[in-house]
Amino acid sequence: MDCMRSRKPMACGCARLRAEFRRALLAGLLLLVACDAETPPAQGFAGLGGAAAQFARVEPGRVLAFPADHGAHPDYRIEWWYLTANLRDQQGRAWGVQWTLFRNALQPGSEEPDWRNQNLWMGHAALTGPGGHRHAETFARGGIGQAGVASAPLHAWIDDWQLRSTSPANGGLGELELQARGADFSYRLRLRSERPPVLHGVQGFSQKSGQGQASYYYSQPFFQAAGSLQLDGHSYQVEGPAWLDREWSSQPLAPDQQGWDWFSLHLDSGEKLMLFQLRHADGQPYRAGTWIDADGQAQALGQADIEMTPTHHSRVADRRLPTGWSLRIPAKGLAIDTLPLQEQAWMATRFPYWEGPIRFAGSHQGVGYLEMTGY
Amino acid sequence: MRSLYWTLHALASHWRRHPLQLFSVLAGLWLATSLWAGVQALNSQARDSYARASRLLGGADHYSLAARQGGLFPQQYFIELRRAGWPVSPLLQGRLRLRGRAEQLQLIGIEPLTLPAGGALAGQAVERLDLTAFLGRPGRPWIAADTLAQLGLAAGAQPQSEAGEVLPPLAVWPQLAPGVLLVDIGVAQRLLGAPGQLSRLLLDGQFARAGPRLPPALAAQLVLRRSDEAVDLAQLTDSFHLNLSALGLLAFVVGLFIVHAAIGLALEQRRALLRNLRACGVSLRGLLVALALELCALALLGGVAGLASGYALAAWLLPDVAASLRGLYGAEVAGQLGLAPHWWLGALLIGLLGALLAGAGSLLKAARLPLLALAQPEAWQQAQARWLRRQAWLAAALGAVALLALLLGDRLEAGFLGLAALLLGAALALPVCLNRLLEALLPHCRRPLTQWFVADSRQQLPGLALALMALLLALAANIGVGSMTAGFRQTFSGWLDQRLAAELYLMPTDARQAQAIEAWLGNQPQVRALLPSWRVELPLQGWPAQLTGIRANPHYRAHWPLLSASGEAWERLAREEGLLLSEQLARRLDLQLGERLRLPTPSGDWELEVLGIYADYGNPKGHLLVAATGLLRHWPGLAPRSLGLRLPAAEVPALIQALQARFALDDSRLIDQAGLKAWSSRVFERTFAATAALNSLTLGVAGAALFISLLSLGQARLSQLAPLWALGVSRGRLAWLSLGQTLLLALLTLLLALPLGLLLAWCLVAVINVQAFGWRLPLLVFPGLLLQLLGLALLASLLAAAWPLWRLGHSSPAALLRSFADER
Amino acid sequence: MLKIQGLYKSYPTPQGPLPVLRGIDLELAPGASLALMGESGSGKSTLLHLVAGLDRADAGRIEVDGRELGELDESRLAAWRRSGIGLVFQQFNLIASLRVADNLAFQARLAGRHDPHWQAELVERLGLAALLGRYPEQLSVGQQQRVALGRALAVRPPLLLADEPTGSLDERSADQVLELLLDLLAGSSTSLLLVTHSARLAARLQRCLTLQGGRLLEQGAA
């Protein structure tokens, strides 16, 4: 899935990452080891393909347990808590909310207290609405309390942003509070779910290439969100479906993978669909996905099941991005075309990427989120 | 090209035949460039250091939160504020002494992830910044290359702190401020022995300007401060650097005098050569181009030599300058000269311009040189009279400029302009005055040789005028600056004796400790008086000022001298009816006794009447005294900054020991009177060390000018002296007579330099000092100093005259004979 | 070669302009030699300076090789002095800071006509071989004058202007120098204009004119 969402392709290289303090910082935050090595060869997205020998390896067969696995996994290098919501206000206008917390460890097993802690944290928040797209970003060191994640009950925070479980129901995901704030926007949502989390790939073991790169990956796609948004001094009451992604790994990308396109879709029929493709330098993308029935039954989709074709391109931040897609899953009779709520849903963060709400029509109708990196 | 080459060849042959003249031109250029470049090097080094300091946190350090009580505060406040949405970044700052070393480093611990947006680190786009190493283990302290070299360490070294903590391997960060060690906050806490402690929280400027309110729980602990330390530093040190520049400029001008004289002389001597060249078919344009090229080549040669020695000079003076900047302003200046290429180019260009300026007159003369020397040269008296008239007019005009600038100007630049005009005008007036003096002397001379002695001295004036002017300027500058320095020293030490009357001063770390110490001291019978003071730093009309609160005590009346005061000033101060302020601040704010001043406080304005004005020498910041009760009402919770203790001197060591044992106060927080006085005097001496060095160098330059002038005049003198020799005056006697002439002229010049020097001293204490520092000193005359300087200058003249005249005395009869035949 | 027509020149004095030359007409053929005599202050040197382009006439023409000097600008006049004439003047001494060898070659080098063979011949015939390394001040007056002569001739000028070249020499030395000069000019196309007080010397040239009251009086050819 959105492995290393927000990772910029290695094309821009370590040197450029280092061009500026903050960038170098991110180099440390996200790609770290890659940049330690002197001029590494192609190493995938922003160095995410770097060697991971000392970190714990992602291997099939691990049984995910909740609520313990909602918390942090410091033996693994990178990890995130990723929430997107497709909302409507009382006038029926569509909104989108993104809340992300990334963890990156400088050294394996680094859970020492105070400044000696070697975890770096990064938060991204975005609000997309009828008027446009806003985003915010913040950083923190681990060990001192500025950011962190506790598992029981789930509490992920950085500064005054947080995702907090307020009830032990449904393995800790029954009732959550979500909030974040940028310079000119903020949101506060209440999330509810009744179904258990959905495991992707093989019992949560999600492969990212044919060469062994993989991550542990589960989602809670059945959240119902309600709450309020603040934008430029105005307040909006909103509600709609939300989707939580949890993923951790130590070396999730193949060296020649340039970026990815990832979809999370809420079908009006109540079914959910996750799709992603990792674009390879040689042009043959690696595709995978999960079809989730309305009752929560998951079915992994493979390369052969999925067709993804760009249908519309936009100029965004001096780049050409495919903002309209045609998606087909013949086995499920799905043939839809997606359109973005805002073509300019650009996350101009240290490692910029595109992430925003979409809607789709065709054989099925509904809303969802699209993330595109590496353009 | 061909003709240019052979023209240059012929022109250069003159220098080969007269190496001494070449030497004097080069020496003049060299000296001028050297002193100027040296001073500029010092200034640019200091400015570079300020800039580096100001870029350290990329302007992010303008707003910060600090403990209301002073001292360190728990890291937990940082977390609480972050969790409340405040974009703050922690900072821990402290002095770190390395094991076995005297110097202290300023250790700054930062947290790079949360640094306010837009803040580059040390003004540098980071080429190979390895953040992983900086944040990771064991960490990587950044240090400037010059600081590292000063410590005698290499990159990668792992020195130990005094407490025995091993530093992570040091890494060089080129643009880091001197004397600073930049580390991750975690490393800083370990090295300073302050785990979980912070000294400041940096705040994003945009956020701070919106006027956020601290959470109630923290509002009692933290206070928002705005500091423009870098700006302050540049502002505060401005006058210091301007003074240095002025001295450098003086040296430059004196040097150019030499160049001007030497080049002018060379032209005189090459008149025949130039005619010859033109007769042989060198066009006027070609000749001028060749002369200009020659001048440029000379300037380049002298300039490069001057740059090299200027660099050496700056390196030699740098420790003093750096020390006085540190002592006076707390400004850290890199102890290793590192100058950008533009400094070298700039200084060279200035040297070149100066040489062209000094040689322009000669070039102009060469352009006007008639091809045929048919018309008899004007009688020398006529020419001299015209020259003197012109000089007199110029001098009068400059005198008028000086008068206007000194009396009407109210800026430092105007003061310096006035000073420059005064000195230049006086220099130009010198030959006029000397001529008058000699003229007046002439009728009193009966004996023929005496008559010749005086008359010939007059005739020599034009040739020696420039050297004498240089001598006048140098001596006057020495007298002026020397008088000012000596006067300052006397006033300052008297003032210090009076003001630093408490036997022991201590600085508590925080309010709690202050209370405990005060309580404990209250029970010590030997302590006769306890004088706590509280201090708030605040800007007054843009100028940094220190507002000090004191508790009423008879001690102050006896030991805090007031320059002017209204009745019952101390009583009214204690009643919170008014304030006292330093002379420089009163001047800057243009406040008189009885006027009212409004102080901005956190709880609104506080208006007080000016009750008195006191001297506060050496303090670049403004200073105010108010009653402590009032101060603490407006700034509640403030910790006392220092405690002055009156007790018998014999009891001091024992009390120090007791205090140290009981309250863990280190040396930096306890200082006795003698120590404080010694420190103040040291700062003072250092401040004027550079000035004194430059000053004596200027005198040296003037001596060199005289020497060179006499040396180059030597040949021409032969033809003037030959007739006397022919008439039966021995060569030895002639040499003595000539020496007498030189000394007479020098002595007259020195006598004229005396009043000029005193005038200069007056300008310095009454105009320049007031404009530059804000304090006015009494003008004190030190006869001993004057005599010493006079003797020195006379000795310099004697030395300068001796060698050329010795040569004259030993010139061969043939040379004297030939001078009859030679036509110029 | 040289053609002078109606030449006028006067100098300003406090008492008003003092006329020195009042209508001079003169012609000199290539290879010819002419002596110019006259009392002190009669204008002999002035005439020579005008021909050398060192000074400008008030009126009249000086034509050399078909060029009118009055029409030449400063740099062309300088070029004329460089390569068109040789000067042996009393007041244009040698360059004191250059050795004899460099003094000899100086003008020729300026004019780009330095010819080592010719210079060597001159050195030999002027008897300067032993003096080449010396400075002018180390020479006797006669030796200096020979160097000046050599410098003027080294450039092979079409016209040689000599102002009292032997003025400070005794008779014997003067004769020697003149002999040398005439010897060197013999067979060349260089014209000679010589100013002298000595009728004895003047008599040895082809023609002799006397300046008097600003006008020329013919003395007849020798």
**Biggest CA pair distance of chain B:** 104
> Can you tell me the mean pLDDT for A349-368?
93
For residue B769, pLDDT beyond 90? no
Place B117 in a pLDDT band, splitting at 50, 70 and 90. Answer: low
Q: Output DSSP code: residue A292.
A: E
Share of chain C above pLDDT 70, in %: 96
Which one of B10-24, B166-180, C145-159 scores highest in mean pLDDT? C145-159
Q: How far apart are the first and last CA of chain A?
A: 17
Which residue from B minimizes the CA distance to C41? Answer: B374
Least CB–CB distance from B283: residue in C75, C83, C95 = C75
> Can you tell me the mean pLDDT for B396-413?
86
pLDDT tens figures, A294-348: 999 999 999 999 999 999 999 999 999 999 999 999 999 999 999 999 999 999 9
In contact, B450 and B780? CB cutoff 8 Å: no
The pTM (predicted TM-score) of the whole model is: 0.61
For residue C150, pLDDT beyond 60? yes
pLDDT number for residue B508: 83
In this structure, the strands spanning A319-329 and A307-316 are antiparallel
Which residue from B minimizes the CA distance to C161? Answer: B279
For residue B407, pLDDT beyond 50? yes
* Contacting B residues, span 296-335, partner chain A, CB-CB under 8 Å: none
B130–chain A Cβ distance below 8 A for any pair? yes
Share of chain B above pLDDT 90, in %: 11
Among A48-52, A198-202, B329-333, B743-747, the minimum mean pLDDT is found in: A48-52
SS (H, E, C) A316-347: ECCEEEEEEEEEEEHHHCEEEEEEECCCCCEE
For residue A17, pLDDT beyond 70? no
pLDDT tens figures, B483-500: 887 887 788 778 878 777
Which residue from C minimizes the CA distance to B3? Answer: C110
List the single best residue of B55, B77, B79, B83 to mutate versus A (max A Cβ within 10 A): B83
CB contact under 8 A, B82 and A159: yes
Answer with the residue of higher pLDDT: A105 or B451: A105
Min Cα distance B103 → chain A (Å) is 28
pLDDT number for residue A246: 95
In contact, B201 and B78? CB cutoff 8 Å: yes
A164–chain B Cβ distance below 8 A for any pair? no
Look up residue C4 and give its amino acid.
Answer: I
Which residue from A minimizes the CA distance to B184? Answer: A115
Answer with the residue of higher pLDDT: B764 or A332: A332
Place B795 in a pLDDT band, splitting at 50, 70 and 90. Answer: confident
pLDDT number for residue B823: 39
| Count of CB atoms situated within 10 Å of the CB of B503 | 21
| Count of CB atoms situated within 10 Å of the CB of B606 | 19
Least CB–CB distance from B373: residue in C79, C91, C111 = C91
Tell me, yes or no, whether chains B and A touch by having 3 or more C-beta pairs under 8 A.
yes
pLDDT number for residue A252: 56
CB contact under 8 A, A146 and B112: no
In contact, B429 and B390? CB cutoff 8 Å: no
Place B560 in a pLDDT band, splitting at 50, 70 and 90. Answer: confident
CB contact under 8 A, B281 and C98: no
B120–chain A Cβ distance below 8 A for any pair? yes
Neighbours of chain B (3+ CB pairs under 8 A): A, C
Among A120-124, B346-350, B549-553, the minimum mean pLDDT is found in: B346-350
CB contact under 8 A, C96 and B818: no
pLDDT tens figures, B622-650: 899 999 999 988 888 787 888 888 888 88
Least CB–CB distance from A181: residue in B85, B112, B184 = B85
Among A42-56, B397-411, B613-627, B712-726, the minimum mean pLDDT is found in: A42-56
B123–chain A Cβ distance below 8 A for any pair? no
Answer with the residue of higher pLDDT: B361 or A361: A361
> Can you tell me the mean pLDDT for B301-310?
88
For residue A366, pLDDT beyond 90? yes
CB half-sphere exposure, B334, CA atoms < 13 A = 29
> Can you tell me the mean pLDDT for C161-171?
80
Which residue from B minimizes the CA distance to C141? Answer: B821
Least CB–CB distance from C92: residue in B10, B276, B283 = B276
For residue A94, pLDDT beyond 90? yes
pLDDT tens figures, B243-264: 677 777 777 777 777 777 778 7
Place B690 in a pLDDT band, splitting at 50, 70 and 90. Answer: low
CA–CA separation, C158 vs B395, rounded Å?
A: 55
For residue B32, pLDDT beyond 90? no
pLDDT number for residue B120: 52
B138–chain A Cβ distance below 8 A for any pair? no
Q: Tell which residue, A135, A101, A48, A131, has the closest CA to residue A349.
A: A135
List the single best residue of C97, C100, C103, C135 to mutate versus B (max B Cβ within 10 A): C97
Answer with the residue of higher pLDDT: A84 or B269: A84
pLDDT tens figures, B643-679: 888 888 888 888 888 888 888 777 667 778 877 777 7
Among A37-41, A227-231, B715-719, C31-35, the minimum mean pLDDT is found in: A37-41
Q: What secondary structure does DSSP assign to B240-308, as a single string? A: HHHHHHHHHHHHHHHHHHHHHHHHHHHHHHTHHHHHHHHHTT--HHHHHHHHHHHHHHHHHHHHHHHHH
For residue B330, pLDDT beyond 70? no
pLDDT number for residue A176: 96
Neighbours of chain A (3+ CB pairs under 8 A): B
Place B816 in a pLDDT band, splitting at 50, 70 and 90. Answer: low
CB contact under 8 A, B282 and C107: no
Which residue from C minimizes the CA distance to B9? Answer: C98
Answer with the residue of higher pLDDT: A321 or B234: A321
Answer with the residue of higher pLDDT: B112 or B626: B626
Which residue from B minimizes the CA distance to A147? Answer: B83
Least CB–CB distance from B281: residue in C55, C102, C111 = C111
pLDDT number for residue A1: 39
Q: How far apart are the first and last CA of chain B?
A: 30
How many A×B Cβ pairs under 8 Å?
A: 79
> Can you tell me the mean pLDDT for A149-174?
92
For residue B419, pLDDT beyond 80? yes
CB contact under 8 A, B136 and A118: yes
Q: How far apart are the first and last CA of chain C?
A: 20
For residue A43, pLDDT beyond 60? no
Q: Which residues of chain B lie closer than 8 angstroms to C89, CB-CB?
A: 279
Q: Which residues of chain B lie closer than 8 angstroms to C102, CB-CB?
A: 9, 13
Which one of A47-61, B74-88, C34-48 scores highest in mean pLDDT? B74-88
pLDDT number for residue C219: 61
SS3 helix, strand, coil % of chain C, rounded to 5?
Answer: 35, 25, 35
List the single best residue of A144, A179, A230 to mutate versus B (max B Cβ within 10 A): A144
CB contact under 8 A, B272 and C111: no
pLDDT number for residue A29: 37
Q: H or E element: which one contains B522?
A: helix B511-522
CB contact under 8 A, B371 and C55: yes
Q: Is B567 helix (H, G, I), strand (E, B) or coil?
A: coil
Q: Is B539 helix (H, G, I), strand (E, B) or coil?
A: strand
CB contact under 8 A, A106 and B132: yes
Two tokens, residue B637: 């919770």
> Can you tell me the mean pLDDT for B278-287?
85
Min Cα distance B160 → chain A (Å) is 20
Answer with the residue of higher pLDDT: B74 or C18: B74
Q: Which residues of chain B lie closer than 8 angstroms to C75, CB-CB?
A: 283-286
List the single best residue of B1, B8, B276, B289 to mutate versus C (max C Cβ within 10 A): B276
CA–CA separation, B430 vs B639, rounded Å?
A: 61
pLDDT number for residue A64: 92
For residue A46, pLDDT beyond 50? no
Tell me the pLDDT of chain C averaged across its residues: 85
Q: How would you label C192-214 residue by residue, b for 16+ Cβ within 10 Å and e otherwise?
A: bbbbbebeebbebbebbbbbeeb
Q: H or E element: which one contains B4?
A: helix B2-17
Which one of B570-574, B633-637, B798-802 scores highest in mean pLDDT? B570-574
Share of chain B above pLDDT 70, in %: 87
Q: Which residues of chain C lie closer than 8 angstroms to B276, CB-CB?
A: 92-95
For residue A23, pLDDT beyond 60? no
pLDDT number for residue A69: 93
Q: All domains of chain A, ordered by start, with CATH?
A: 10-57+65-372 (2.40.370.10)
Q: All domains of chain C, ordered by start, with CATH?
A: 2-218 (3.40.50.300)
CA–CA separation, A101 vs A158, rounded Å?
A: 8
Which residue from B minimizes the CA distance to C76? Answer: B283
For residue A37, pLDDT beyond 60? no
pLDDT number for residue A192: 96
Least CB–CB distance from B281: residue in C49, C83, C137 = C83
Place B228 in a pLDDT band, splitting at 50, 70 and 90. Answer: low
CB contact under 8 A, C97 and B17: yes
Min Cα distance A140 → chain B (Å) is 6
B197–chain A Cβ distance below 8 A for any pair? no
Among A283-292, B486-495, C65-74, the minimum mean pLDDT is found in: B486-495
Answer with the residue of higher pLDDT: B50 or B183: B183
For residue C174, pLDDT beyond 60? yes
> Can you tell me the mean pLDDT for B340-365?
81
Q: Within its chain, how far is the Cα of B577 from the centroid?
A: 40
Which residue from B minimizes the CA distance to A120? Answer: B113
Two tokens, residue B411: 């800026």
pLDDT tens figures, A132-158: 999 999 999 999 999 999 988 899 999
For residue B809, pLDDT beyond 90? no
Answer with the residue of higher pLDDT: C169 or B469: B469
For residue A16, pLDDT beyond 50? no
Tell me the pLDDT of chain B averaged across its residues: 80
pLDDT number for residue B812: 67
CB contact under 8 A, B126 and A120: no
Min Cα distance A266 → chain B (Å) is 33
Tell me, yes or no, whether chains B and C touch by having 3 or more C-beta pairs under 8 A.
yes
> Can you tell me the mean pLDDT for B424-436?
90
CB contact under 8 A, A20 and B126: yes
Answer with the residue of higher pLDDT: B428 or B732: B428
List the single best residue of C90, C110, C153, C160 to mutate versus B (max B Cβ within 10 A): C110
pLDDT number for residue C155: 87
pLDDT number for residue B68: 76
For residue A11, pLDDT beyond 70? no
pLDDT number for residue B687: 65
